[in-house]
Chain A
Amino acid sequence: MNGLQTARLGLARGGIELRQTFTYGPDLVAYLFFPVIDLGVLFLMRGHQVPGTSFSLGSLTLPSVIGLGLAFGGLVGVTAQLCSEREDGTLLRAKATPGGMTGYVIGKICYISAGALAGLVGTLVIGLIAFAGLQLTLGGVATLAWVSVLGLLATIPLGIVAGSLLPNPRFMPLVMLPFGAIAAVSGIFYPITHLPDWLQVVGQVFPVYWVGLGARAALLPSSLASVEIDGSWRLPLAFLVLALWSLLGLALAPTVLRRMARHESGSRVAARRERAMLRAT
């Protein structure tokens, strides 16, 4: 019963934060920045064809970008939020409230998931209208649904772990740079099959490749599976890899988060404030 009430409070919190993002200029700009640039670039790529086919390169890349956006929101989004809200004392306030930490985490998961899914739907709608060759069948919707849910499940807990471990937001490059490197070898903007073998292996270890692959499987004609590794969408394997990352994240996140939260206190936040102020002046 109590758990249900707290879950409801978390949901309310996520809703409030989502509304704030969509009604606050700077947040909205930050939220739309990458999707708009990506879509713009893809739009310019429409005229080019996937080598060996007559399919538009822009249309091929769009589903991958949807997958990338999901993984980026889940991992980098959560890390950045957790990190900065720990520094500014939001977390300590949650800790001082009965059930507040649970509510905070549920709220954050809802906020990030809803934000990522809204981005997905937005990009998808634009893609279906403006990019030739994309198709959305009932089966595709189902694939996209499970890939999205599992993609968020695989990345959000990892984001919670990273956000708990980073000392402050100035350390964000420690997450951004590896994420960028992983994205580069995940077949998002550049086909993974054109990379050296060992880089293909590296790319396939991480969730980004599989979320992108799943999105392509959902939105592209089945004939295009031919340009993938093994000439197949390999959905069972995508499910397995994403599920393993989810399990790993879910196993680590609560412990790491609790350990971090246990050490939060007024004097810690005050010390961080002082340090950040020194940097600012």
Chain B
Amino acid sequence: MYPLEWIEKLKLGRPQAAPFPPRAISPVVLSLGLTSLLTDISSEMVNSLLPAYVVLHLHLSPLQFGVIDGLYNGFAIALLSLAAGFLADRVSRQKEVALGGYGISALCKLLLLAVGTTYGWILCVVGLDRLGKGIRAAPRDALISLNTPAHAFARAFSVHRAMDACGSLLGPIVAFVLLATLPGAFDAVWVASFVFAVLGVAALWLFVPPSTPRGASSATAPAPPLAALLRSRRFLALAGCGSLLALTTVSDGFVYLMLQEKSGLAAGYFPLLYVATATGYMVFSIPAGRLADRTGRAAVFLGGYAILILLYAVLFWLEGATTPMLVGCLLLLGVYYAATEGVLMAMASATIPPERRTGGIAIVATGIGLGKLFSSVLFGTLWQAIGPQKSVLVFAIAMGLALLVAFHWLRATDES
């Protein structure tokens, strides 16, 4: 069986991983973290300002655009990121493909400066930015795992995710400081955002070594075919768990909306909810990663979803929310992210052979992305039909069932 052999190989340690002491995080992972941090500062600077920019600065009504855009784009980006993942594996050029993805997003900041008022074009730039994000995610995650010994996967991912979350916290603050000193000068924000993005690309280009074509350990053996990966029960179980659980996840926007309505928070503070979640994610990411490597990744992963069900239960029972309750709920959401996102990627990385790493990760990520896309539409429709309270109950029950299935699958395919 393929999976067992891969695990054995990985447990023996790959040559790149050998020079680092077992507990340390590879400088490559830290560099990738730096890249993500800088890129997230750059994109969150823009994202936090875009709605106000479009309506108040350009005097356009955003009402003219709807859901369909989001759905079509979602599918297109999912397909493209899969293609990018397979391409990266084929030519063994994870770094270059990731550079392309980060580069596109950097370019978008310049385009923003150029396209001006036309809302259609602004939307195109936003779409292009998301495309860049879709392309770079899988090769970047593959690089993280390829530069880390198998026993420390979860920790490596957790460090990267913590740095990533830190960047998305800093972005809005940088944007605010700029606009406070230069009122109305959105172009100054776009320029600063571009500079951050370029530095992010530079960090990746300079500090991450190019992927060695076909890792030395497997140089003699031919690359395992894709079909083998798709036949691997463990891999299918992981991809299935990811998608199934994503399908029963209420998207953050709806959670924030419910919390906002329960707490009577003004919509202007909406981003604050996002910031609190990112803080939780950043703070709990590394402890969750350590725990996952030590006591079992599946347990931490499933535990994260159990916490999410707890959050849904709170949303269902809570009539009104005081500020501490609000913060508590958002921290729960942050813990859920910390316990699941990077940990699932660590589990997937441990299952997929290095030669198929990027494509395999792209498959898992795409499954999750599509699951989330459908769940948004599902929850939105349900919200309109039976209201938020009952909808969240339905999703909580569905997630409970999905969690049982996931538990069964993961246990049945557990090789350790």
Q: Do A and B bind each other?
A: no
**Chain A interface residues toward B at CB < 8 A:** none
